[in-house]
Amino acid sequence: MLTFELDKIYLSTNKPKILDIGCGEGRHIFGCMTQFANARIFGVDMHLDSLMKCVEGQSFFEGHNNCKNAYFQSSVYDLPFREKSFDLIICSEVMEHLDDYNKAFEIIHTLLKDDGILLISVPSYLPEKLCWLLSRQYPKTPGGHVRIFTKSILREDFASHGFKIQSTKRFHAFHSPYWWLRCLFWESQDSNFFVKQYKKFLEYQILNETKLLDAFEAFLNPFLGKSISFVLTKKL
C-alpha cells in the first residue's frame, strides 16, 4: 500500500541512489525495487524490528531489477551520508513525529542532489484533527504524532527550506474511518468488534483486486484521504 505514485516519478539517471527515511517495514523500498532498475536503495529507521522485517521481505524481491539495498538504524538527525548523495528521497509519515522537523528538512535538502526529487507525506489535516478530538490518548502515545500539519503551513515550510512543489495528492481515504474507530474505542480498540471488522475490510481491499472499491476510494481521497503527499524538487 504505497502513498506515492512511483510509476509517475522520472529520475535522470539509470542507476539512481534512493533513501527512505523512516522506512518502516519497507513498503516504499519494495515499491522502488519494482519501479527503478539498478537502484541502490538505503532504508533508515529507528526501530530495529521494522528493519529486520525489511530484510525478511526483501527475499521476495531479491534480484528484482538488479537493485541493491542497505539498512541503517538511525534517526533523521544523524544520517551517515554525504551531501548531494541521492536522486530520490522518501520521507513518508515521519515529520508529524519529529520534535524538530525543520532540522530534518535542512538535512534532507543537504542530502538531495540538485536535480533530485523528494517525496513527503504527512497525515491530512481533517482526518488527523478528528483523531485528536476523538481520543485524548491518541497524541500522547509514546513515539506518536506531536503536531497536525495544514497544507498552507507545509507550503511555507517547503519554500523556506528551498523546495518547490511539483504536485500534491491525497491517499488512503478508507483508512480515515479505521483510525476514527480506533480513537473512538481507544481503550478496547484491539478487541472492539467494529474496529476488527473494518480492519478485515481494509485487508481485503489491500490483498485483492478490487477495482470498484479502489475507484470509490479514489473519489473520496480529495475529501477524506488520510495522507497528503507532495512531490518536491530543489529550488535552483
Q: Is 142 left (phi over 0), alpha (psi -120 to 50) or beta?
A: beta
State the pLDDT at residue 94: 96
Running DSSP on this structure, what letter comes out for residue 36?
S
Domain borders along the chain are 6-234
State the pLDDT at residue 65: 83
119 Cβ neighbours under 8 A, 6+ residues apart: 4, 9, 88, 89, 90, 91, 92, 229, 230, 231, 232
State the pLDDT at residue 57: 86
Band of residue 220 on the pLDDT scale cut at 50, 70, 90: very high
Average pLDDT value for residue range 19-38: 94
Residue 209 φ/ψ, nearest 5 degrees: -85, 110
The pLDDT tens digits for 29-85 are: 999 999 999 999 999 999 999 999 998 888 887 767 888 899 999 999 999 999 999
Fold of 6-234: Rossmann fold (3.40.50)
